[in-house]
Structure 1
Amino acid sequence: MSAEAIELRKARQRFAALGGAEWLLSSNGAETFVEARNGLDTVVVTHFDKAATPEEIDFFANAPHMIGLLLRLVDRAIKAANQSSGGRATPVQGKSVNYAAEAAMKCGEAAFLVFLEQCHGLERPLTDDKAAQKLRSLLRITSRKELNNDAAAAERWRSLRAAYEAWRKAGN
């Protein structure tokens, strides 16, 4: 997982930890502060120094709303990117994707072997050959070459690959 993906995950966790509380800019005449309201509970989150600018106060008071908006925009962008690419690599300069080679490489990845074990019952010891056999069974093919020639088999491979990527992104 990239450093940016880790930071994005942390941002999501921090945002979720707020529990959907509504942040309100408040004043009692003597000072300006932000309150978090969650149901009937209200908690003062922070008090502002008299030297704080209106822009700084506004930015801080609206931070949860802005973070929520940005996370929704990121989610929409990710979804749009996945839909436009069909969840697969885009061929370069008119060359077709070699799913057979891609599947062979995945069968050599330790994380993919663990995915097959945890999600599809691959038995130990985890070997490339056992992974290839499990892959052929899952995809209902007799040879990985079929992934390049059979559209339905290719779609099954893309679906399995997407499940694997989701499994990895979930921290497995």
Structure 2
Amino acid sequence: MSAEAMELRKARERFAALGKVEWLLTADGAATFVEARTGAERVVVARFSDKATTDEIDFFVNAPRMVDLLLRLVDRAIAATRRVGASTSQQVQPAGKPVNYAAQAAMKCGEPAFLVFLEQRHGLERPLTDDRAAQKLRSLLRITSRKELNNDSAAAERWRSLCTDYQAWRKAGL
């Protein structure tokens, strides 16, 4: 498990330890503080200096809601990445029907993320267009037509390797 994954796990555990708590901004005379309310019980969590700005206080008070939102967004992004990874790495076809690598390559050349991958990793020049991506693929895979991916096992292997690199690049970018 990566260091970032371990930190994310710790953040989830710390957030879960708070339970269903509501943080409220409270003032008592000149003192401003945050109370945590669980049911009828209220506990002072933090007191603010009179020099604390309203933005600092607001950020602190709303931290649990923001962490909850960010964790849900991370979960959605991870789920979407896994769905994309499963659909692009899956090579199983119905019985008797070979994988159409040429079609896969054509679709990839239309994906904005794949174009950025080709730009960052393989020097695809701007503007990032489908045509430029197709030309870059032909060059990288040492083919004259994407159709060769369906007929030349070495070219197909180079394509699968490029797809693996692309998936690793996408995962590293999250």
TM-score, structure 1 as length reference: 0.51
Aligned to 2:36: none
Structure 1, unaligned runs of 5 or more: 1-7, 18-81
Structure 2, unaligned runs of 5 or more: 11-85
CA distance in 1, matches of 2:167, 2:93: 19
CA distance in 1, matches of 2:137, 2:165: 13
CA distance in 1, matches of 2:139, 2:116: 17
Distance apart, 1:119 and its partner CA: 0.2
Distance apart, 1:11 and its partner CA: 8.0
Aligned to 1:14: 7
Aligned to 2:168: 166
Aligned to 1:94: 96
* Structure number with bigger Rg: 2
Query: RMSD over aligned Cα, in angstroms?
Result: 2.9
CA distance in 2, matches of 1:132, 1:113: 10
CA distance in 2, matches of 1:151, 1:16: 42
**Paired residues, number:** 98
Distance apart, 1:90 and its partner CA: 1.2
Distance apart, 1:105 and its partner CA: 0.2
CA distance in 2, matches of 1:132, 1:15: 38
Aligned to 1:133: 135
Q: What does 1:19-30 align with in structure 2 at a 5 Å threshold? A: none
1:157 is matched by which residue type in structure 2? Answer: W
Distance apart, 1:91 and its partner CA: 1.7
Once the two structures are superposed, what CA deviation does each residue of 1:138-162 show, in whole Å capped at 9, x if it has no partner? Answer: 0000000000000000000000010
CA distance in 2, matches of 1:97, 1:155: 12
Aligned to 1:37: none
Decide which of 136, 146, 149 is 2:148's aligned counterpart.
Answer: 146
- Residue identity over aligned pairs, in percent, reads 70
Once the two structures are superposed, what CA deviation does each residue of 1:70-114 show, in whole Å capped at 9, x if it has no partner? Answer: xxxxxxxxxxxx9xxxx6521222311000000000000000000
CA distance in 1, matches of 2:137, 2:8: 39
